[in-house]
Amino acid sequence: MIVGAWICLVAPLAGALAITLAGTRISRTTAGWISTLTTFVAFAGALVAFVGLWAEGHGDREHLSTAYTWLESGDFQVELQILLDTLSSTMMLIVSGVGGLIVWYSMGYMEGDEEERRYFAYMSLFVFSMLMLVQAGNLLLLLIGWGLVGLASYLLIGFWHSKPEAVAAAKKAFVMNAIGDVTLALGLVLLIWETGTLEYLGVFEQVDGLSTTTVNLVALGLLGGAVAKSAQIPLHTWLPDAMEGPTPVSALIHAATMVTAGVYLLVRASPIFEAAPDVQALAAILGAITLLVAGVIALVQWDIKRVIAYSTMSQIGYMFLAAGIGAYGYAIFHLATHAFFKALLFMTAGVVIHHLGGEQDIRKMGGLRPLMPRTHLAFLVGALSLAGIPIFSGFWSKDGIVAAAFASGDTLGYTLYAAALTGALLTGLYTFRLYFAVFHGKPSELVKEHSHDGQREGPLSMLIPVGVLGVLATIGGLLVIPGVWEPFLHWIDETAEPTVKATVGQDYATSAIAVTLGLIGFFVARRASAAGRQIVTSPGIWRVLEHKLYFDEAYDALFYRPAAAISVALRRNVEEPVVERSLDEIGTGTLQVGGEVARVQSGLLRTYAIAIAFAVCVLVVVFVAVR
């Protein structure tokens, strides 16, 4: 069982190394297969671990396995260890399973790119890092996985490195994530001094003994990391830009796995957050704000991938909300279903983009339904699931979160509830605005241009993963039917006991409201589409939303430009005039003094001799006098 977990961790790393070392000696297809197969080996390992864990008794499902001591200093030790429990095994399955499908899909999508090998090496590196993140047995190892996924994300966003926008987006993503990394690291530093360990189990045992300030600061540090990684307000601006990367990357990293790492951390470290209820509430509030803001911004975007990116932010907002109010099972459940349907949406979007020769602007699309029937169907499944229409997976997970918000009670709970329901309406609106713009209406010039290319919607390696995910997005939600059958929740509850649970009545009442709102969104979007107008009609609001509420501009003015200005000012006003010129002055000063003193050097030997004699006399007098 634990061997399966180790195989799961190591296989993708082996894949990445093999592709790197082989270099140009293997063909591009071979590189793709190595990456795909090692990821599926990881999935098999995860499956073995899962089944092994399943077979164990309730309460025994927690295994810590240590390989060696990674870092040691004095009494402080960090071991390379993995923790296998219900939460991590679920995440392993999601990461390696969805990851395997997307890497497979990439083989079709990236075909013909001249640097495919590099792409697959990066993909394998990413899968390894993500598995490290979810399997880590202590917080430092988690931080390492955390940083390495950021690295892989940087590499893959900037994969097309001759595009300046891609490089800029990659740098932005890395720096914003680095901010999250260091806040997380600061939280860990505090933990080291207060508890002397970073192992989850050791830390959780001692949480109760810590002072409120300490716990709050630690929780804030962790939350900072989670917010940056999961693109929540206020550290969210990198995610839309990250869409400059290849589409499968967006599907894998910026939808299904990496960006949900923040949610994983909130759930994993739930004992810490429960000891710091204010910070936990802050997580929920940030989630709620993000889900609204991102949902509204998604209404005015023209880039198909950016719409889905904002929708991702919005959905992760739901997960943060869930984790923030203590509905951990639902947070992870929504994480899982979101991985299915959002990866599906991105991959179908990828098929469309691929088909249209790289075009991403939805204004140039339209009427694709008859031309790409299978793609259309898959996209529709994803859209229905995202909007939370019954049967489809998103329905079961999202409504559970909304109901839990209601069940948590008090003013905060009801506010969050209202926000989550508003979010449901927004989701319906932006999802179907996108759907109608792409697949309905009259075919545009661009679509006509590409429609006689043949009947194929894409290579099999792209269509099979899409099909598998389509099935998962349809039925994946059936793992939780409130009041009837809730194996998924029970499974997660073993690791993270929820602090809030909606009654069955609350569940179904909420669902009724949420589905109605989702359907309203559908119909409004359809009417708007049929009438050829947008959902947001006020040009003033449109402009504000188009600028994404001016977050980028504000950060530019607040941080980047001051930093650059300080840097230039330091060079002009300190480095050059003071430090460097002081040296010149020392130099010229020395020369001047030297010039004065040099006059004594007459070059006449006799004067020297006289000087010596005189000096000797003086010394003699001094010595005699002193004695």
Residues 143-172 that bind another protein (CB under 8 A): 143-148, 150-151, 154-155, 158, 161-164, 167, 171
77 φ/ψ angles, rounded to the nearest 5 degrees: -135, 140
Footprint on residues 111-130 left by another protein (CB under 8 A): 115, 118
Return the bridge partners of 80, or none. 68
Task: Work out whether 550 is an interface residue with another protein (CB under 8 A).
Answer: no
Region binding another protein by CB under 8 A among candidate stretches 85-93, 185-193, 472-480, 506-514: 185-193
Task: Work out whether 570 is an interface residue with another protein (CB under 8 A).
Answer: yes
Q: What is the DSSP string of 229-258?
A: HTT-TTS-THHHHGGGS-HHHHHIIIIISG
In this complex, which beta carbon is closest to another protein, that of residue 144 or of residue 276?
Answer: 144
User: What's the token pair of residue 160?
Assistant: 């097309």
Region binding another protein by CB under 8 A among candidate stretches 100-108, 272-280, 393-401, 590-598: 590-598
Asked whether the CA dihedral 216, 222, 225, 227 is positive or negative, the reply is negative
Footprint on residues 349-388 left by another protein (CB under 8 A): none
CB–CB of 437/362 below 8 Å?
yes
Residue whose structure tokens are 């599926």: 40
In this complex, which beta carbon is closest to another protein, that of residue 541 or of residue 564?
Answer: 564
CB of 338 to another protein, least distance (A): 26
Footprint on residues 403-442 left by another protein (CB under 8 A): none
Footprint on residues 503-532 left by another protein (CB under 8 A): none
Footprint on residues 260-299 left by another protein (CB under 8 A): none
Task: Work out whether 66 is an interface residue with another protein (CB under 8 A).
Answer: no
Task: Work out whether 613 is an interface residue with another protein (CB under 8 A).
Answer: yes
Q: What b/e sequence results for 546-561 when a residue is b if at least 16 CB atoms lie within 10 Å of its CB, and e otherwise? A: eebeebbeebeeeeee
Residues 531, 406: Cα–Cα separation, whole Å: 37
In this complex, which beta carbon is closest to another protein, that of residue 150 or of residue 326?
Answer: 150
CB of 179 to another protein, least distance (A): 6
Region binding another protein by CB under 8 A among candidate stretches 20-28, 101-109, 434-442, 455-463: 20-28
In this complex, which beta carbon is closest to another protein, that of residue 481 or of residue 616?
Answer: 616
CB of 164 to another protein, least distance (A): 5
Q: What is the DSSP string of 68-123?
A: EEEEEETTEEEEEEEEEEHHHHHHHHHHHHHHHHHHHHHHHHTTT-TTHHHHHHHH
Q: What is the DSSP string of 183-234?
A: HHHHHHHHHHHHHS--BHHHHHHHGGGS-HHHHHHHHHHHHHHHHHHTT-TT
CB of 82 to another protein, least distance (A): 15
Return the bridge partners of 83, or none. 64
At residue 135, what is the residue type?
A: Q
In this complex, which beta carbon is closest to another protein, that of residue 534 or of residue 582?
Answer: 582
Which positions ≥6 away from 607 have C-beta within 8 Å?
Answer: none
In this complex, which beta carbon is closest to another protein, that of residue 530 or of residue 612?
Answer: 612
* Binding pattern for the stretch 315-344 against another protein, x by CB under 8 A and - elsewhere: ------------------------------
Angle of helix 504-531 relative to helix 410-439, nearest 10 degrees, comes to 40
CB of 214 to another protein, least distance (A): 11
Region binding another protein by CB under 8 A among candidate stretches 279-287, 434-442, 475-483, 565-573: 565-573
Residue whose structure tokens are 């006059």: 599
Residues 120, 106: Cα–Cα separation, whole Å: 9
Footprint on residues 71-110 left by another protein (CB under 8 A): 71-76
Asked whether the CA dihedral 38, 489, 199, 62 is positive or negative, the reply is negative
In this complex, which beta carbon is closest to another protein, that of residue 598 or of residue 626?
Answer: 598
Residues 575, 569: Cα–Cα separation, whole Å: 9
Task: Work out whether 582 is an interface residue with another protein (CB under 8 A).
Answer: yes
Return the bridge partners of 76, or none. 73
Task: Work out whether 14 is an interface residue with another protein (CB under 8 A).
Answer: no
In this complex, which beta carbon is closest to another protein, that of residue 71 or of residue 512?
Answer: 71
How many residues lie near another protein (CB under 8 A)? 75
Contact residue for another protein among 442, 606, 623, 626 (CB under 8 A): 606
In this complex, which beta carbon is closest to another protein, that of residue 487 or of residue 577?
Answer: 577
